[in-house]
Protein backbone atom coordinates (compact mmCIF):
# COMPACT_ATOMS: atom_id res chain seq x y z
CA UNK A 1 0.00 0.00 0.00
CA UNK A 2 1.35 3.42 -0.96
CA UNK A 3 1.46 6.34 1.49
CA UNK A 4 -1.36 8.21 -0.26
CA UNK A 5 -3.55 5.09 -0.18
CA UNK A 6 -2.88 4.60 3.52
CA UNK A 7 -3.69 8.21 4.38
CA UNK A 8 -6.74 8.25 2.10
CA UNK A 9 -8.01 5.10 3.82
CA UNK A 10 -7.67 6.70 7.26
CA UNK A 11 -9.25 9.96 6.02
CA UNK A 12 -12.20 8.11 4.49
CA UNK A 13 -12.82 6.13 7.66
CA UNK A 14 -12.69 9.31 9.75
CA UNK A 15 -14.51 11.44 7.19
CA UNK A 16 -11.79 14.05 7.56
CA UNK A 17 -9.12 15.82 5.56
CA UNK A 18 -5.92 14.12 4.43
CA UNK A 19 -4.00 16.59 6.62
CA UNK A 20 -5.81 15.54 9.78
CA UNK A 21 -5.58 11.87 8.77
CA UNK A 22 -1.83 12.30 8.34
CA UNK A 23 -1.47 13.85 11.80
CA UNK A 24 -3.52 11.08 13.43
CA UNK A 25 -1.67 8.36 11.53
CA UNK A 26 1.72 9.73 12.54
CA UNK A 27 0.64 10.16 16.17
CA UNK A 28 -0.81 6.66 16.34
CA UNK A 29 2.23 4.99 14.77
CA UNK A 30 4.64 6.93 17.00
CA UNK A 31 2.71 6.03 20.14
CA UNK A 32 2.33 2.41 19.05
CA UNK A 33 6.06 2.10 18.36
CA UNK A 34 6.82 3.39 21.86
CA UNK A 35 4.54 0.76 23.38
CA UNK A 36 5.55 -2.43 21.61
CA UNK A 37 8.91 -4.22 21.67
CA UNK A 38 11.50 -2.37 19.61
CA UNK A 39 12.10 -5.37 17.34
CA UNK A 40 8.39 -5.59 16.61
CA UNK A 41 8.27 -1.84 15.92
CA UNK A 42 11.07 -2.25 13.37
CA UNK A 43 9.24 -5.17 11.75
CA UNK A 44 6.09 -3.05 11.54
CA UNK A 45 8.00 -0.11 10.07
CA UNK A 46 9.41 -2.36 7.34
CA UNK A 47 5.84 -3.22 6.26
CA UNK A 48 4.69 0.41 5.96
CA UNK A 49 4.96 2.91 3.11
CA UNK A 50 8.35 4.62 3.16
CA UNK A 51 6.89 7.99 4.23
CA UNK A 52 5.44 6.42 7.41
CA UNK A 53 8.32 4.14 8.41
CA UNK A 54 10.11 6.72 10.55
CA UNK A 55 7.03 7.13 12.75
CA UNK A 56 6.86 3.41 13.52
CA UNK A 57 10.42 2.99 14.80
CA UNK A 58 10.31 2.61 18.54
CA UNK A 59 12.94 3.73 21.01
CA UNK A 60 15.81 1.39 21.83
CA UNK A 61 15.02 -1.11 24.55
CA UNK A 62 11.81 -2.73 25.62
CA UNK A 63 8.34 -1.24 25.82
CA UNK A 64 6.78 -0.06 29.03
CA UNK A 65 3.39 -0.80 30.58
CA UNK A 66 0.61 1.53 29.56
CA UNK A 67 -3.14 1.82 29.53
CA UNK A 68 -5.54 2.33 26.67
CA UNK A 69 -6.41 5.75 28.09
CA UNK A 70 -2.75 6.73 28.21
CA UNK A 71 -2.32 5.64 24.58
CA UNK A 72 -5.33 7.71 23.48
CA UNK A 73 -4.13 10.71 25.47
CA UNK A 74 -0.75 10.60 23.76
CA UNK A 75 -2.34 10.34 20.32
CA UNK A 76 -4.77 13.16 21.17
CA UNK A 77 -1.92 15.44 22.25
CA UNK A 78 0.35 14.62 19.35
CA UNK A 79 -2.36 14.99 16.71
CA UNK A 80 -3.99 17.94 18.50
CA UNK A 81 -7.51 16.47 18.33
CA UNK A 82 -10.32 15.89 20.82
CA UNK A 83 -10.96 12.59 22.64
CA UNK A 84 -13.59 11.14 20.27
CA UNK A 85 -11.45 11.99 17.22
CA UNK A 86 -8.40 10.39 18.84
CA UNK A 87 -10.34 7.18 19.57
CA UNK A 88 -11.89 7.04 16.10
CA UNK A 89 -8.52 7.94 14.57
CA UNK A 90 -6.70 5.13 16.36
CA UNK A 91 -9.40 2.72 15.18
CA UNK A 92 -9.09 4.01 11.60
CA UNK A 93 -5.30 3.59 11.65
CA UNK A 94 -5.55 0.06 13.04
CA UNK A 95 -8.24 -0.85 10.47
CA UNK A 96 -5.96 0.45 7.73
CA UNK A 97 -2.97 -1.41 9.18
CA UNK A 98 -5.03 -4.60 9.17
CA UNK A 99 -5.52 -4.17 5.43
CA UNK A 100 -2.01 -2.90 4.63
CA UNK A 101 0.21 -5.49 6.29
CA UNK A 102 0.15 -9.30 6.36
CA UNK A 103 -2.22 -10.82 8.94
CA UNK A 104 0.61 -12.43 10.91
CA UNK A 105 2.45 -9.10 11.19
CA UNK A 106 -0.75 -7.37 12.34
CA UNK A 107 -1.39 -10.08 14.92
CA UNK A 108 2.20 -9.78 16.19
CA UNK A 109 1.56 -6.10 16.92
CA UNK A 110 -1.88 -6.34 18.52
CA UNK A 111 -0.98 -9.27 20.76
CA UNK A 112 1.46 -6.96 22.55
CA UNK A 113 -1.31 -4.52 23.46
CA UNK A 114 -3.41 -4.62 26.64
CA UNK A 115 -6.81 -6.31 26.51
CA UNK A 116 -8.49 -2.89 26.37
CA UNK A 117 -7.33 -2.65 22.74
CA UNK A 118 -8.85 -5.90 21.60
CA UNK A 119 -12.27 -4.53 20.69
CA UNK A 120 -10.65 -1.68 18.82
CA UNK A 121 -8.12 -3.87 17.02
CA UNK A 122 -10.15 -7.05 16.54
CA UNK A 123 -8.54 -8.61 13.48
CA UNK A 124 -11.75 -10.46 12.65
CA UNK A 125 -13.78 -7.24 12.61
CA UNK A 126 -14.22 -5.05 9.58
CA UNK A 127 -14.82 -1.35 9.57
CA UNK A 128 -18.53 -0.63 9.04
CA UNK A 129 -18.50 3.15 9.49
CA UNK A 130 -20.14 3.00 12.91
CA UNK A 131 -18.55 3.66 16.27
CA UNK A 132 -18.24 0.66 18.57
CA UNK A 133 -18.30 2.16 22.05
The pLDDT score that the predictor gives to residue 131 is 36
- Number of Cβ within 10 Å of residue 23's Cβ equals 18
Nearest CA to 78 out of 125, 11, 31 is that of 31
- Each residue's pLDDT tens digit, 20-71: 999 999 999 999 999 898 889 999 999 999 999 999 986 655 556 678 899 9
Amino acid sequence: MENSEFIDSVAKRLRTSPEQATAITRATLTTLAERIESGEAKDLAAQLPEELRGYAHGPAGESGRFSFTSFLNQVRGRAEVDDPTARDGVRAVFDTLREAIPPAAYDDVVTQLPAEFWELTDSAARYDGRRRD
